Structure formats: structure tokens, C-alpha cells
Amino acid sequence: MNMHAANIVQLDEAIFEDDLTPGTNLMHGQYEIESFLASGGFGITYTAYDSLDRRVVIKECYPQNFCRRQNTSVLPRSRNYSGDLESIVQLFAREAFNLSKVRHPNIVRVHQVFEENNTAYMVLDYVEGVDLLDTLENNPASLTPEKLTAYLLKILSAVEHVHEQGMLHRDISPDNIVISKTGEPILIDFGAARDQAREKTSRLLSSLHVIKDGYSPQEFYIEGSEQGPSSDLYSLAASFYHLITGALPPHSQTRLAAFATKQQDPYVPLANRIDGYSENFLAAVDKALSIMPAERIQSAAEWIDIIQQDSSATSGEKESAQAPEDEVVIKVGTHKKLPVLVELEVEKVDTSATSLDFEVKETPVIVALVARTVAAVLDAIDAFRSRGKEV
């Protein structure tokens, strides 16, 4: 467990006493809880070991506002919440099952979903590495523009895949992006992920907020508000704003209040003020952070296109700046240049030479055409020499 996770444990253990104790067995001994990792509005996360002694992460459905712990069992906080708790557990299990079918190299994998202790659990890969929040706090110099651009492209690909399955992550932040030991950014913590269609119709799900000030878009704070792909993209943009500048963007609720009262948006755009990044790259982050959903980038694919087009333009500029290599240089005495699909370079040479000095640089010109051209030049030189002897 990294230092950031350790800090979470120290903080949460002092205020949260409903977690399963280390050594607790689940699934008839298939899993053994190692330690508490984190908690949120939807549940509790643990590290554990499976029956093959492999380290895994287990997410327990534990909606704190609706339940309480009795030994290992999860019970409704009151009789009024009995039906709600049962529905939440069913929804959690269903969404976990859907997530288990998601396959992407930059998304943590769900291995198993099961019900026990009157609640549901999902078992995920344990990703060894350091999350981006830890990296920002402990080694910010390593977050170069080149690395952050590469990380963003891969996470956008992962988010696009999640959205294509009709789901939202709803909890994207730097601490939920882990850089693995192989250098791959992995999107983790799908405990708050929800089906977009079901989200619109579920009173229970809309009442279970996952809020992270600075990262969450304004619609996450409003019960019953419409959420979509641009909501996740806002959180992703806020995360990279933090990674680029070292500071969180202004609270979305503060920005919304300014918008409502026709005051100036406290958000300061990145474009034209950050070195090392193209203006299109920074402008895309600014657009994804628009306070109104309709003004944001609407899909991960659109954002990827902006970055890749920017990269292609830069690559094209570099290529055009290089000296052309596809040419044939032929030195043939004082003859003028010949129009033979290649540019011929003329220099004064000793016409008494018995051989023709020519240099061919890498070229796609048809060899036969070049050969005929050279032969014609040789014939012309021979004719010139013959006339000289006659004189």
C-alpha cells in the first residue's frame, strides 16, 4: 500500500468503525481481508488475499446512510431503510457484474462478484504502483508534458470504452489513476460507476452522491440532475488541470453561482499561460471544464481527436523542416539541369575525366528512367569530345 493509502487509513480508521476486521474470511475462505483501504458513500474498500495467496482489492457495498454493521452482517439502519438497502445491494451487484465484462488495458479488472453478509462484493485486481495524486505531491518534476499527454490519451481511451458500454465512472480523480510498475496509467475504483439509463430513473442512485470538491462537476451536487459522458470528462479535465498547475480548479458550485449571478467565472483558463503544452491541448482541457454541460467536449473520442490532430500537425512541421532526401544528384561537367523528375545539380568538373561522377541519395525515382537519363548524358559528352577532336 502506498503512502497516500496509508494516510487514508490513518485518517479514516479514527472516524470509521464499520469496516471488516483483518483476517475476516469471505466466500467460504476464498478471500481473507488484509486491511482497510478506504471508504465512501457507496462502500468500503479493502486489500485481501485469495486462496492462491494473490493480493486483490475487495469493494463491499456499504451505503453508510442506509445501513449499519452487526458482526459481519450489513443491516438496515432502521426499518424504513430495509427496502432501500436491499435495492441498493441489488443495483451494486448488477453494476459490478456489468463491470466484470469490461476489458481494457487501462481499466482495473473485476474478477468476481458475490453476495454475502446481506450485501454484495466485487473483487478487483490489485494494481501495484503509485497514484497520480501521490506523484504530484512527492515527485511533481516527473509529470512532464510528454508524460501527462501520454497518460491523458490512454485514460481517455479507457473512459471512451466505459461510455461505449453505456456506463459512467463518476469518480475520476488523480488518486483513482494509478501508474503501474510498467508505466501504464490504470483507471481504478469503479465503486460509483453506474449505468447511464438506470441512473436517470433511480431515486436511490441519485441520492447516493460521490462528491470530490474541485473534481466533481456542478451536476453531481444536484439531486436528480442529468449526468452524462461530459460529466466524467469534466472530472478528468479537473484532474489534469491539477496535475498541470499543481492547484485544483475552482469549486464547480462556486463557478455555477457566479454564472447564475452573471459574475465573472473564477476559473482561469490554461490556454496561453502554461509552457510545454500546445495551445490546442490546453484549450481542450479548458473546454472540458466548462461549467455548463452543453459547452463541454461531449465525448472522449472528440478529445482524443483534438490531441492526435495536434500531434500530427507538429509531426508534419518537423518533417517539412528537414532537408529533402529524395533526390538524385548528378555531376556532369557544365551541362544545364535536366527535367527528369529529379533535380540535377551542375558543377564544373574536369571534362577529360574517363568516368562520370554521380551520387544517388535515397529516392523513389524509377531506376530505369535514371539509367536512360545517365546514358543520354554520356552520349552527349562523347559527342562533344568527338567534335573537339575533329577541330
Per-residue pLDDT of the chain in tens (391 residues, 90 and over written 9): 444 444 444 444 434 568 999 999 999 999 999 999 988 778 999 999 999 999 999 999 999 989 999 999 999 999 999 999 999 999 899 889 989 989 999 999 999 999 999 999 999 999 999 999 999 999 999 999 999 999 999 999 999 999 999 999 999 999 999 999 999 999 998 756 666 545 444 555 555 667 899 999 999 998 878 999 999 999 999 999 999 999 999 999 999 999 999 999 999 999 999 999 999 999 999 999 999 999 999 999 999 999 998 766 555 555 555 544 444 333 333 333 333 333 333 344 444 444 444 344 444 444 444 445 445 545 544 554 554 444 4
Domains of the chain: 3-125 (3.30.200.20), 129-311 (1.10.510.10), 328-384 (no CATH)
User: What are the beta bridge partners of residue 61?
Assistant: 43
Q: Can you give the pLDDT at residue 203?
A: 55
Helix %, strand %, coil % of the chain (to 5): 40, 20, 40
Q: What is the DSSP secondary-structure string of 341-383? A: SSPPP-----TT-SS--EEE-S--S-HHHHHHHHHHHHHHHHH
How far is residue 6's CA from residue 69's CA, in Å, rounded to a whole number? 24
Half-sphere exposure of 130 (CA within 13 A, CB side): 13
The set of cell numbers assigned to 135 is 506523484
For 202-268, what is the HEC assignment? CHHHHHCCCCCCCCCCHHHHCCCCCCCHHHHHHHHHHHHHHHHHCCCCCCHHHHHHHHHCCCCCCCC
How far is residue 120's CA from residue 134's CA, in Å, rounded to a whole number? 30
State pTM to two decimals.
Answer: 0.73
Q: What is the DSSP secondary-structure string of 60-90? A: EE--TTTEEEETTEEEESSGGGHHHHHHHHH
305 Cβ neighbours under 8 A, 6+ residues apart: none
Q: Can you give the pLDDT at residue 42?
A: 81
